[in-house]
Each structure stands twice: as C-alpha cells, then as structure tokens.
Amino acid sequence: MKTPNPEFIRALKQVVNTSPYPHHMHMSLAEISYDNAEIAMDLHRCHLQPYGIVHGGVIATLIDTATFWAGFLRVSEDAGLVNVDLKLNYLNSVVEGRLTAEGHCIRPGKTISYAEAKVLDEAGNLIAHGTSSLMTLPGKGMKMDLPKFI
C-alpha cells in the first residue's frame, strides 16, 4: 500500500475543515489514514432538538462523514466517492461536550466498499454505531488543487 504524502493529508484536512458544511456543523476531519478516519465535533446549542439532546441527524452526519473518509484514501485521485446507504443505531443521548466519530473501512472494493463508524462522547461512552456502503465514481474526483497523493 502506498504511503500518502503528508502534505497531501495536511492540504486535504484544510480543504475539508474549511468547507461550508463541516464549518457550519462545527466538525472537523481530525485524522485520516488508509481505512480509518476520525471526525471531531464540538457541540453547540444549534445541535440540540427541542428536548435538549443532540438531534439524531447530527449523529447521522458524524457516522456518514466518518465512513466516507475512512474509505476515501483507497479511491484513485480522478475518482469520486459517495455513501449509497446509511444504517445506524442510536445507543445513548448526549447534550454537550465534544463527540468523536471513529470510522473504519472494513471491506474496501474497486466499486463498492463497506465501512462502519462509532460515535463516542468525551468520556468514551458509545453514543451510536452505524455502517455505510460507499460507491466509487470514476472520473468524478475532487476539483481542487491538492499536492500529489504520493
């Protein structure tokens, strides 16, 4: 397996973390390596639903994002990647602090990959677990000027 250029990883994290949706959600791509990704989110009032707990869509976003980035580095530079399904279980509620989503690609493939993620609170309590199938889209790579992958 090729080792990604550290400058590519740094630039990728910068692009992701300054993109509109991650910025809006107060989340960041904290770590990425082959088959693994870590997403961090500092919780704010905007993440709460009327009962005062974090909205399920916020948790789903973390799982969706962690599974996506866990599969990303195996995709060629000229290809895109999309989540085609998302299944998750909510296991605990949370109201404040920082959440971490740990994604792992458990079956990389040329066309379809399969990944899982777990969301943890600051104390390490399991908040949710989910899985996603990811589809590679040839010719749909990111349209940005990043350093070479290798």
Element (H, E) at 52: none
Question: Got the DSSP string for 12-67?
Answer: HHHHHHTSHHHHHHTEEEEEEETTEEEEEEE--GGGB-TTSSB-HHHHHHHHHHHH
Tokens of 136: 């590679």
Give CATH for domain 6-137. 3.10.129.10
pTM for the predicted model, two decimal places: 0.93
Higher-scoring residue by pLDDT: 77, 63: 63
pLDDT in tens, 113-125: 999 999 999 999 9
pLDDT in tens, 50-67: 999 999 999 999 999 999
Instruction: Answer yes or no: is pLDDT of 3 > 70.
Output: yes
Q: Where are the beta strands (DSSP E) in the chain?
A: 27-33, 36-42, 80-90, 98-107, 112-120, 126-137
Instruction: Answer yes or no: is pLDDT of 149 > 90.
Output: no
What ranges do the domains of the chain cover? Answer: 6-137
Instruction: Answer yes or no: is pLDDT of 6 > 80.
Output: yes
